[in-house]
Structure 1
Amino acid sequence: MNNNANIMAAMAVTPIAANKQAKPNSWYEVMAEAWGKTLDAKASEIESAAAELTGGNDQPSHITQMTALAQQMGFMSNSAHTSLQSVGTALETVARKQ
């Protein structure tokens, strides 16, 4: 096996701290948590905009803003899925070759 595969395999299981209070996670878990936090933040923006809409702010500009937020959420969700799946597949391939 080449040296790059050894490095990738070691990186996949090398613990790093996501934060000082949690137990160490692999960098793959940290990446997934980062995507989750990013998606949570975007969902909060959408919830705030929806609350404004139910509060009577039904102007076309606000509805357009909500549409843009929803599109951003969809794009980010797809990106998270693709990146996690790609890295997971790569790690699986590396592990198989060891």
Structure 2
Amino acid sequence: MADEIQGFGNLSLASTLQGTNNKNRPGTWFEAMAHAWGQTLDAQAVKITELADQIGPGGEDKPSVMAMLTAESLRMNFMANSESTSVDSVGRALETMARKN
């Protein structure tokens, strides 16, 4: 469970927003949220790639590696859906607020 929580640790907007004048850093909190999600998804993709590299070409795959690859792939799917939903929801809310001003 600690790994799951730690995996979402990159979503700290406060740390992402610091140094917004740097070209590599986003300038608004909405951009910071998208940037943080991107970093989190990139880290998950690295985990999946590392597990995929452990799968042998000769068919001598360990069931434990296959199970972990499946689990991490499903986690990536969950995270990608969560990212899409959160960015879309916040974007729509900002659009609504902009129309009311």
| Other-structure match for 1:30 | 32
> Once the two structures are superposed, what CA deviation does each residue of 1:50-72 show, in whole Å capped at 9, x if it has no partner?
11113766111110100000000
Q: Given the alignment of the two structures, is residue 48 of structure 1 paired with residue 82 of structure 2, yes or no?
A: no
Give the residue type in structure 1 aligned to 2:44: K
Match of 1:84 in 2: 87
Q: Distance in 1 between matches of 2:66 and 2:46?
A: 16
* The one of 45, 63, 69 aligned to 2:72: 69
Q: Following superposition, which runs of at least 4 residues in structure 1 exceed 4 angstroms of deviation?
A: none
Residue type of the alignment partner of 1:62: V
Find the aligned partners of 2:81 and 2:97 in 1 and give their Cα distance: 24
Aligned to 2:10: none
Q: Which amino acid aligns with 2:34?
A: A
**What is the RMSD of the two structures over their aligned residues, measured on CA atoms?**
2.1
Sequence identity of aligned pairs in percent?
46
Q: Distance in 2 between the 1:55 and 1:20 partners?
A: 47
Q: Aligned residue pairs: how many? A: 83
- Greater Rg over alpha carbons, structure: 1
Structure 1: give runs of 5+ residues left out of the alignment.
1-15
Q: As a proportion of its length, which structure holds more strand?
A: 1
Q: For the residues of structure 1 that align with 2:19 and 2:98, how far apart are their CA atoms?
A: 23
